[in-house]
Structure 1
Amino acid sequence: MGLERISFHTTQALHSIAATREIEQAAASHLPAHTLMQRAGLSAARLVCAIAPHARVIWIACGAGNNGGDGLEAAMHLRMWGRDAVVTWAGDDANCPPDALASLHRARDAGVLFADAPPVHWDAAIDALLGIGASRAPEGEMVEWLALIHESGKPVLQVDVPSGFCADTGQWLPDAIHSIAARADSMPANGQFDSKKYTLSLLTLKPGLFTAHGRDACGEIWFDDLGISHAVNDPQAWLLGEREMLASPRMHASHKGSYGDVAVIGGASGMQGAALLAARAALHAGAGRVFVGLLGGGMVVDPMQPELMFRDVASLDLAGKTVVCGCGGGEEVRRVLPRVLSSSERLVLDADALNAIATDESLQTLLKARAAKNLLTILTPHPLEAARLLGSSTAEVQAHRLFAAQTLADRFACTVILKGSGSIIASSGVAPSINPTGDARLATAGTGDVLAGICGAFLAQSGADALLAAQRATWVHGALVGEATTSQVVPASELIKRISQR
């Protein structure tokens, strides 16, 4: 495969740190010593030249371990290619791992300049301080070097992961250097994320690069498998790709009944807008018919979307419909949840429906019983709602997003979309997936209601595949913001207008 930019066109396997180590050890057992580090260093050198083609002075900040060895190997190549490679090295010969020591000698023999302090003037940098094996955040002079790198505004290539970052979880390591994490994640004054930050993931792609703080910390992500092929039938997770998420074209010989009925139940007094957003989204996402049962009443027609059909909640027939329940439901949603949980063949639960279930064991029992009756369920919690369902804290959910989503899916035998940066889609018995689309412009009121509505429409059309419906809905929802051209949020109502354009 070689060096490639991750562009999210196809679904790709994501491997944990432990699995990556196993792949590395298996490959090293039948390759000549030092081969993988040589390949990693060459790849890093090639990439830094590609992202900073006019850079003359390249500063390589190297740690004491094998991540530093990759940087030393890169420095050797850069020197051989006529670049001024300046290395600051946090190690020493006596304690250097064998592969890194070999690269150290190669760098010295090539005439690489080693310095006690970063060069005064430099054009690009390589962060090769700490890799995936780090258990502690950078300390001492490493902190100073990283501060210079992240505050410079110059191109920086991070080898395997940003130093101090956990490739499994997408979080900074415990006792993280908060000042560095803040600098690495910050948005510049022009409102655009730093386009000069790059991460080269080696041997495998790791899940933490794409969820939680991963996208902010990593910037543009590249990958090199180092020429090692490995089985992908047992990854920790999958990174969703556009090719697999595209919907099949509609058949000419079809009618509105071919695309399912969706019933949206929510919208307590003062919160009808949430239910209307979900209903409009379901209609624009392709549902054949959309019914609306407002818990707060007060509407018989939506003048902005007259296609929606309003019904009294008590008399709303749920048979054969995909139900989206909870958007703006308030406390009033509790009284309808027993019927919704027991009667809905296909169900999307969001917002206040999730909050009600989190505090009511009888509702939890009804939710768990749905799978035994072959009833399909998708939960769409944000981290706080997930924490309530799990009896934990938002911080705990965010610290282990893959685990939290999978735990919810297994506990309630359903499909779960844990929203946030790199939304996690989990279902019982399969590896979870991470959605790469969307950005912070979705961080505004109502966008979650839009996602619930899209889920309802896709679930109504998907037959018995709740997981695929959830994956497709999450992908499309994120893709609605388009390419990042502004720091302004995209209002939920604007998202709805874009759905049918895809």
Structure 2
Amino acid sequence: MRTITGHQREPLYGTASTRRHEHAVQASLPAHTLMARAGLAVARLARALAPHARCVWVACGPGNNGGDGLVAALHLHRWAAGTGLQVVVTHTLGARVDAAQLPPDAAQALSEARSAGVLIQSEPPLSFDLAIDALLGIGVTRPLMGELANWVLTLRTTDAPVLCVDLPTGLHAETGALTGTDNTGSRSAESPQPGQRHTLSLLTLKPGLFTHQGRDAAGQVWFDDLGVSVGNTVPMTALLAGGKPPSETKALRAHASHKGSFGDVVVIGGQGIAAQGAGMTGAAVLAARAALYAGAGRVFAGLLEDGSTNETTWDPVCPELMFRRPAALMDAGWLRQASVVCGCGGGASVAAVVPRLLSTAMTLVMDADALNAVASDEALQIQLTSRQGRGWLTVLTPHPLEAARLLGCSTAQVMADRLLAAQTIADRFQVVCVLKGSGTVVTAPSQVPRINPTGNAALSSAGTGDVLAGMIGAALSGRETPNRDGLDRVCGAVLQHGWLADQWGDCTLVASELARRARPMT
């Protein structure tokens, strides 16, 4: 058993792959062995998490997830002898649950628990020091209703520590979507309270634990393969794109390097206030600063300030940035050798430059209003899709609403399956897609989706997405063969962006300071 820290890559498996692996393992082991191992692992972790607990509530469901809980309760009951620990077991089928109502392994677990004197009650205890959620496991999508819904609501809102067996009840294994808890199943899912949350994922790690609502619901993820690693027997659904945090790495650069060795980044965006009465210059400046601090040799900012009587010509905070009128940056030779970031604060003005960038820039990062321009113009979509055939690298960095516009669907549909939405964008437009949000998803055509393990709600602040675009631009600058390692470098920039937020401390995260803390990648 080990904790999942995000410091290394982890294969993730959805329901179908996990079931296939589970069936193969069960066929190779004596009956009830897998559940016995799972229940023991749960009990050991429960005791480690709450060594001084006086009351443990084990909430069991009607399937093998509930069977795992019964085995865990049996071990806790035996260990509690003479210590005064009270183990309270409730079952969704009632205190007089019949073994005939359960799958064979769970029925065996019920029989052994009762023989050992474990009592099953009708109601949860009024208070408890630890709860074990063994209600519904992988692959369950039914609405949470009645008594089940009430128990799940208690588990999601209690201040006491909660240990979930395999998955938090109601969490979709692939998508990270959390089912609501009322008697119609239609209520929006409650966000778990700040109390301690732990999930022991068994046999395989599931994608839903690391994206969308899964991160809040699961809390700290633990993993136990129960002594039977997957290997290459079943296909991965996704990959947790972990890596060493920037504090443990240092970009090594040759002594004979010069600024040209690390490439140019061109940032085009920042619509001036004269265009529509809404100045967005700061977005492009944030992206440019982030690119410079993240290691680009030179950074040029082309602000869309046509008609302005007071053009921005330099940045007093970051005078190293070089400002040019966009027309001066549109030279084909220039765009072919630079990493171009387009769209940050571009407003309606950016649409005029997008066709030229799509047809000329070999490495192009498209964010914000550049994405909206593509979403509303079929000709631009054709241009975008044709770029990979020329060996060029394109990265799209949408948030869910921008992704919905690109796909012609609703934001709710995007959030219902973030992995599918990101992969569809990548395959449809032949790009690397960075779908931002909790558990940012990074995909490329015909590649296994990757989920970023870093970041938190502190990034819910204006300008942080612009900083990410600039960091990605820097990560891709100076690469002679941009497609060779482009996906890994994009994932590295996303990882660092989230890691910086994770290390932030108590003060409010602001994008300008986030940009300043960016650093070169290895």
Q: TM-score range by the shorter chain?
A: over 0.9
**2:159 is the counterpart of 1:153:** yes
Alignment correspondent of 2:211: 211
What's the CA shift string for 1:306-327, capped at 9, x where partnerless?
1111111112132311110000
The match for 1:339 among 356, 374, 382 is 356
Q: Partners of 1:180 and 1:390 in 2: how far apart? A: 24
Code of the residue aligned with 1:21 in structure 2: it is R
The match for 2:18 among 17, 20, 26 is 20
The match for 1:454 among 471, 493, 512 is 471
Calculate the TM-score normalised by the size of structure 2: 0.91
2:17·2:235 contact (CA, 8 Å) conserved in 1? no
3-state SS in 2 of match to 1:268: coil
**2:234 is the counterpart of 1:236:** no
3-state SS in 1 of match to 2:114: helix
Q: Partners of 2:107 and 2:17 in 1: how far apart? A: 25
Deviation at 1:398, TM superposition (A): 0.6
User: In the TM superposition, what are the counterparts of 1:270-419 in structure 2 within 5 Å?
Assistant: 270-296=279-305, 298-316=311-329, 317=331, 318-419=335-436
**2:111 is the counterpart of 1:105:** yes
2:32·2:105 contact (CA, 8 Å) conserved in 1? yes
2:336·2:363 contact (CA, 8 Å) conserved in 1? no
1:11·1:244 contact (CA, 8 Å) conserved in 2? no
Q: Partners of 2:222 and 2:171 in 1: how far apart? A: 16
Q: Partners of 1:422 and 1:207 in 2: how far apart? A: 10
Code of the residue aligned with 2:169 in structure 1: it is S
Deviation at 1:174, TM superposition (A): 7.3
Deviation at 1:179, TM superposition (A): 6.6
3-state SS in 2 of match to 1:181: coil
Q: Partners of 2:181 and 2:146 in 1: how far apart? A: 14
Q: Partners of 2:134 and 2:189 in 1: how far apart? A: 16
Alignment correspondent of 1:86: 88
Deviation at 1:9, TM superposition (A): 1.2
Q: Partners of 2:503 and 2:123 in 1: how far apart? A: 39
**2:236 is the counterpart of 1:223:** no
Q: Partners of 2:108 and 2:250 in 1: how far apart? A: 51
The match for 1:65 among 38, 63, 66 is 63
1:5·1:222 contact (CA, 8 Å) conserved in 2? yes
**2:437 is the counterpart of 1:434:** no
Alignment correspondent of 1:474: 494
Deviation at 1:152, TM superposition (A): 2.9
Code of the residue aligned with 2:5 in structure 1: it is S
3-state SS in 1 of match to 2:254: coil
Q: Partners of 1:72 and 1:322 in 2: how far apart? A: 57
User: In the TM superposition, what are the counterparts of 1:417-428 in structure 2 within 5 Å?
Assistant: 417-428=434-445
Gaps of at least 5 residues in structure 2 are 273-278
The match for 1:124 among 116, 125, 130 is 130
* Range with greater deviation from structure 2 (470-479 or 232-241): 232-241
Deviation at 1:239, TM superposition (A): 0.3
Deviation at 1:501, TM superposition (A): 9.0
Calculate the TM-score normalised by the size of structure 1: 0.94
Q: Partners of 1:231 and 1:283 in 2: how far apart? A: 41
Deviation at 1:168, TM superposition (A): 0.9
User: In the TM superposition, what are the counterparts of 1:230-269 in structure 2 within 5 Å?
Assistant: 230-232=230-232, 234-243=235-244, 248-269=251-272
Query: Percent identity of the aligned residues?
Result: 53
Deviation at 1:466, TM superposition (A): 1.9
Q: Give RMSD over aligned pairs.
A: 1.8
Call closer, same or farther: CA 1:186–1:78 in 2, change over 3 Å.
closer
Q: Partners of 1:399 and 1:311 in 2: how far apart? A: 42
Code of the residue aligned with 2:218 in structure 1: it is C
Deviation at 1:248, TM superposition (A): 4.4
What's the CA shift string for 1:128-185, capped at 9, x where partnerless?
1111131213322122223333333111111111111111100023787577931xx2
Q: Partners of 2:454 and 2:294 in 1: how far apart? A: 17
